[in-house]
């Protein structure tokens, strides 16, 4: 019985009948709504569009079995798609069988890495990507996505990625055999943008409920895709007006395709797969968490990783496209009324039916309409607000965000994120290397000590109390020494120096030796060094060190104790 309990997820054991109709309906609506974006992201990844439908079947089921979120929708997503394209397009021609093989390997490797991260509880590694870096990465990627889709939208073709290639093309390649593509694409783009921005509020002002209005606004892409396809079929625009369409799609459900990746592909794809897994991990977990908070549920980060990992491994053998947890996919799922993962199960089976029987309907869907869909989604990913907030709170974090975004756009996705992580680590070190150091005194009548520059405090002649607001390590000792000698030189005939260590969380070997030298130097000048408020863990280490063994002064439990002892010794009458 216990084993059965473990095998059956708790949401299923405690399934409430009232949710059933919601979940089934949500599954149907969700599936129809995500068809355009699934096709579009496969296209963005450089794969045949219907691959986006394939990976919306079994990978979804795999995530439902192993993941922990109630409503996160896994499938083809924008960031994973642009990363796939960015990693693989220099290695093979997008859409070629070699490219498809590489894409499947990439999904397999990043899935395995996610699975290992989950098993070995390495989820904490994702914190190497700070929020500003992650935000910069997403905004930068969005810009790359927008640029990459312009050629499909406008029906032009150019080589390479990035702004340079686009500009060259735009100035050379306008011709009139693509005007219909352009009209279609730009019209779709405008309708999508306007409906996203105004439609919901317009409908609300007509008296619809907020939820219903939002839901109708979400239907717009599907309506456009349908309408555009009808146009193409009716007027044979793909033949007469050069409008590129999805094209022939193999009918029916493909089987699982097992393969063993070669050593070469492991070597070339290991690092990109790791990066993809890291990004997928951060995105997947953060989406699942924010959805769970809204629903007052809890997710298990390591189960999430196992879920995402298994999902990608299944995707490698069935569809061959890396998948992830998507913001807009999950939002559609919630908006459709999903209550439990049952909605996802229903959706997977409906998708299976569509792929098996109806995929030929998609053959004449114009690419430009999909491109417009991707671009509108990408525009909403560019996050100026995060930059504004980070910049106003902390310039260095703002710069890290900007550096990551700029790096992604100008140098590529991998270099961009490496640049961002480097920037944030460098900031960290730089900050720690210029510690805040305050000369402190006692607030009269209390036991509180504060910066003499910020507060009105009492001090003892010939005695210097200094608080160091930073862990002491090899990288900040020069600054600490310089500041200490500066403060020491200001005090006439100093007899006692008290270092207040309540904000010193660690003292490394170099720092211990430097403090020990300070102790000896001061002793030669007939000045004692005292330490106050050493933290427990720091004291445990210092106890047997040369510094405490040969300390000329005392170790005080509190700063106040130090103050009173030294004031008494000097016969200094306290206020």
Positions in the binding site for a second copy (CB under 8 A): 123-124, 126-133, 293, 296, 389-390, 392-394, 397, 424-425, 428-429, 431-433, 435-436, 438, 447-448, 451, 454, 469-471, 473-479, 502-506, 508-510, 512-513, 517, 521, 524, 535-537, 541, 544-546, 557-558
Radius of gyration of the CA atoms of the chain, in A: 31
Residue 238 corresponds to which tokens in the numbers above?
Answer: 């793909």
The CA-based dihedral angle spanning residues 279, 280, 285, 291, taken in that order and rounded to the nearest 10 degrees: 110
3-class SS letters over 397-444 = HHHHHHHHHHHHHHHCHHHHHHHHHHHHHHHHHHHHHCCEEEEEEECC
Shortest Å distance, C-beta 14 to a second copy: 22
Could you identify the residue written with the tokens 């000097």? 570
Nearer to a second copy, 383 or 513 (CB): 513
Q: At its nearest, how many Å lie between a second copy and the CB of residue 66?
A: 21
CB of 369 to a second copy, least distance (A): 37
Continuous H helices in 236-262: 237-240
> Given the complex with a second copy, which of 239 and 425 has the nearer CB atom?
425
Nearer to a second copy, 54 or 473 (CB): 473
Q: How far is the CB of 510 from a second copy (least distance, A)?
A: 4
CB of 343 to a second copy, least distance (A): 25
How far apart CA 202 and CA 388 sit, in angstroms, is 29
DSSP per-residue codes, 122-184: -GGGGGGS-HHHHHHHHHHHHHHHHHHHHHHHHT----SSHHHHHHHHHHH---GGGHHHHHH
- The maximal CA–CA distance of the chain, rounded, in angstroms, is 103
Task: Name which of 166 and 514 has its Cβ closer to a second copy.
Answer: 514
Q: Which two tokens stand for residue 395?
A: 């310039």
Query: Measured between alpha carbons, how far is 377 from 332 in angstroms, rounded to an integer?
Result: 13
Smallest distance from a second copy to CB 430, Å: 11
- Nearest distance from residue 264's CB to a second copy, in Å? 27
Q: How far is the CB of 461 from a second copy (least distance, A)?
A: 25
Residue 46 or 406: the one with the smaller Cβ distance to a second copy is: 406
Tokens representing 548 are 């405490």
157, 165 Cβ separation under 8 angstroms: no
**At its nearest, how many Å lie between a second copy and the CB of residue 519?**
12
Nearer to a second copy, 39 or 501 (CB): 501
Shorter beta-carbon distance to a second copy: residue 212 or 395 = 395
Nearest approach, Cβ of residue 555 and a second copy (Å):
15
**465 vs 502: CA distance, rounded Å:** 13
CA 409 vs CA 146, 170, 404: distances in Å: 11, 18, 9
For residue 88, the minimal CB distance to a second copy (Å) is 30
Shortest separation between residue 327's beta carbon and a second copy, angstroms = 17
Of residues 174 and 430, the one with the C-beta less far from a second copy: 430
The nearer residue to a second copy, 264 or 524, going by C-beta atoms, is 524
Among 383, 424, 391, smallest CA distance to 130 is for 424
State which residue, 58 or 117, has the beta carbon closest to a second copy: 117
- Cβ neighbours of residue 368 under 8 Å, at least 6 residues apart? 152, 153, 154, 155, 181, 182, 184, 185, 188, 243, 244
Between CA 413 and CA 454 the distance in angstroms is 46
388 Cβ contact partners less than 8 Å away, ≥ 6 residues apart: none
Other Cβ atoms less than 10 A from the Cβ of 393: the count is: 10
CB of 297 to a second copy, least distance (A): 12
Tokens of 408: 């992604």
CA distance linking residue 519 with residue 540, whole number of Å: 19
Give the residue with the Cβ less far from a second copy, 242 or 545.
Answer: 545
Q: Which is nearer to a second copy, 90 or 536 (CB)?
A: 536
Closest CB to a second copy among 57 and 129? 129
Using the minimum distance from each CB to a second copy, give the nearer residue, 238 or 304. 304
From residue 444, alpha-carbon distances to 340, 559, 567 in Å are: 62, 14, 13
Query: E strand or H helix at 116, and its extent?
Result: helix 97-119
In angstroms, what is the minimal distance from the CB of 538 to a second copy? Answer: 9
Q: Is the dihedral of CA 52, 53, 54, 56 positive or negative?
A: positive
Instruction: Sort 263 into a burial class: Cβ within 10 Å, 0-12 / 13-18 / 19+.
Output: exposed
């Amino acid at each position: 019985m216990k084993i059965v309990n473990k095998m059956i997820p708790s949401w299923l054991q405690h399934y409430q009948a009232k949710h059933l109709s919601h979940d089934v309906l949500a599954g149907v609506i969700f599936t129809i709504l995500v068809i355009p974006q699934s096709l579009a992201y496969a296209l963005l990844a450089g794969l045949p569009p219907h691959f986006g439908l394939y990976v919306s079947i079994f990978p979804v089921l795999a995530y439902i079995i192993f993941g922990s979120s109630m409503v996160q929708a896994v499938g083809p997503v924008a960031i994973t798609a642009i990363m796939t394209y960015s990693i693989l397009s220099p290695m093979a021609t997008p859409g070629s069988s070699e490219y498809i093989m590489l894409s499947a390997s990439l999904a397999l490797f990043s899935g395995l890495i996610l699975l290992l991260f989950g098993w070995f509880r390495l989820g904490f590694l994702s914190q190497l990507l700070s929020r500003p870096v992650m935000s910069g990465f997403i905004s930068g990627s969005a810009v790359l996505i927008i640029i990459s889709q312009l050629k499909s939208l406008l029906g032009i073709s150019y080589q390479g990625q990035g702004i340079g290639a686009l500009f060259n093309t735009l100035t050379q390649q306008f011709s009139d055999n693509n005007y219909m593509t352009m009209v279609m694409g730009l019209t779709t783009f405008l309708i999508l943008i306007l409906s996203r921005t105004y439609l919901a509020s317009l409908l609300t002002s007509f008296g619809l409920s907020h939820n219903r209005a939002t839901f109708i606004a979400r239907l717009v892409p599907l309506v456009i895709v349908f309408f555009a396809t009808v146009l193409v079929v009716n007027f044979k625009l793909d033949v007469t007006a050069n409008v590129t369409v999805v094209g022939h799609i193999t009918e029916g459900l493909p089987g699982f395709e097992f393969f063993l990746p070669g050593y070469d592909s492991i070597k070339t794809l290991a690092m990109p797969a790791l990066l993809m897994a890291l990004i997928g991990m951060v995105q997947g977990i953060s989406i699942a968490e924010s959805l769970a908070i809204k629903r007052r549920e809890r997710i298990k980060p390591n189960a999430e990783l196992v879920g995402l990992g298994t999902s990608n491994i299944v995707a490698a053998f069935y569809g061959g496209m890396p998948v992830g947890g998507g913001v807009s996919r999950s939002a559609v799922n919630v908006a459709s009324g999903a209550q439990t993962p049952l909605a996802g199960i229903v959706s997977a089976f409906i998708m299976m039916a569509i792929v098996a029987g109806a995929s030929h309907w998609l053959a004449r869907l114009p690419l430009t309409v999909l491109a417009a869909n991707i671009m509108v989604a990408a525009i909403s990913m560019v996050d100026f607000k995060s930059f504004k907030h980070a910049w106003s709170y902390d310039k260095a974090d703002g710069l890290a965000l900007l550096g990551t975004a700029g790096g992604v756009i100008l140098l590529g996705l991998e270099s961009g994120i490496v640049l961002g992580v480097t920037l944030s680590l460098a900031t960290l070190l730089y900050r720690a290397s210029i510690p805040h150091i305050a000369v402190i005194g006692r607030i009269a009548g209390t036991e509180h000590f504060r910066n003499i520059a910020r507060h009105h405090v009492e001090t003892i002649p010939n005695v210097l109390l200094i608080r160091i607001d930073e862990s002491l390590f090899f990288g900040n000792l020069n600054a600490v020494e310089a500041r200490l000698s500066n403060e020491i030189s200001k005090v006439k005939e100093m007899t006692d120096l008290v270092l207040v260590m309540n904000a010193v969380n660690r003292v490394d070997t170099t720092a211990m030796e430097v403090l020990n030298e300070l102790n000896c130097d001061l002793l030669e000048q007939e000045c004692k060094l005292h330490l106050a408020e050493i933290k427990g863990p720091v004291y445990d280490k210092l106890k047997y060190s040369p510094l405490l063994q040969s300390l000329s002064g005392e170790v005080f439990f509190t700063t106040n104790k130090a103050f009173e002892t030294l004031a008494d010794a000097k016969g200094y009458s306290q206020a």
